[in-house]
Chain A
Amino acid sequence: MSETAAKTDPNAKTMTIIVTKGSLDWAYPPFILGTTAAAMGVKVEMFFTFYGLALLLKNLDLQVSPLGNPAMKMPMMGMHMGLPNLMAAIPGVEAAATVMMKDLIKKKGVASIEELREAAVESEVNLIGCQMTMDLFEYKKDDLIPGIQVGGAATYLEKALKSDLNLFI
């Protein structure tokens, strides 16, 4: 089934995802699931709210933090190690961890978030930016990528109530 068929086919399955996190690591699950579902003929709606709205900014500058994240093990000194919070809090450590994570992503053939977001747009995933978050964090429509819808809780819920699958990430 083509994407356009998914858009018009009234029997196409539907999925919504609420995207609330804007760090590099948390950006992956919603974009991977959204793009894959679209590839499988599912009509997908993604609602970006709070920190998740940063994923719709034209210029993505995503960071990952080892602070308070004991499961984050990075390859260091020939093994995979976590960083104690005391060290993770040192200025510059977060930037270094982000560089390491991006290197790892590249090395392992994992898509970049830019690439996945592009795929989402291409496969006609409907991207909805949260109006309240735009006001709260003072984002202008022009700061966000073109072609997105802007709406609020009711906009999302109307879609979610009719959807086969709703995720909160």
Chain B
Amino acid sequence: MADQTLDAKGLNCPLPILRTKKALKDLPTGKTLEVLATDPGSVADMQAFCRATGNELMESGEAAGVYRFLVRRTG
């Protein structure tokens, strides 16, 4: 279970990433954030965002048109 969930469904680029960043900022280091999105571009973008920021993308999947990411704040 994630420590916090962010609902970014219905939002388009770059809002899922901007909201993710904002949510991570308020999360203590080591805690996890679940992000739900419907933007197909968020799959590649979340990977790139995590690589660039050093946060860990623990899970990435899709079910019924909703993308789900699990990000662990590392920095």
Residues of A whose CB lies within 8 Å of any CB of B are 1-3, 5, 32, 35-36, 39-41, 108-111, 119, 123
B75→A1 contact, CB < 8 A: yes
Contacts of A109 on B, CB cut-off 8 Å?
Answer: 10-12, 15, 38-39
User: B10 touching A40 by the CB < 8 A rule?
Assistant: no
B53 near A41: Cβ-Cβ < 8 Å: yes
The answer to whether the Cβ of B58 comes within 8 Å of any Cβ in the partner chain is no
B residues adjacent to A (C-beta < 8 A): 10-15, 17-18, 20-21, 25, 38-39, 49, 52-54, 75
Smallest CB gap from B9: residue in A: A109
Give every chain A residue within 8 A of B17 (Cβ-Cβ).
36, 39
24 contacts between A and B (CB under 8 A): A1-B53, A1-B54, A1-B75, A3-B25, A35-B14, A35-B18, A36-B14, A36-B17, A36-B18, A39-B18, A39-B20, A39-B49, A40-B21, A40-B49, A40-B52, A108-B12, A109-B11, A109-B39, A110-B12, A110-B13, A111-B12, A111-B14, A111-B15, A123-B21
CB-nearest residue of chain A to B21: A39
Shortest CB distance A144–B (Å): 23
Q: How many A-B residue pairs have CB under 8 A?
A: 42
A40 CA to B20 CA, complexed, in Å: 11
Minimum CB–CB distance from B22 to chain A (whole Å) comes to 8
Contacts of B12 in A (CB 8 A): 108-111
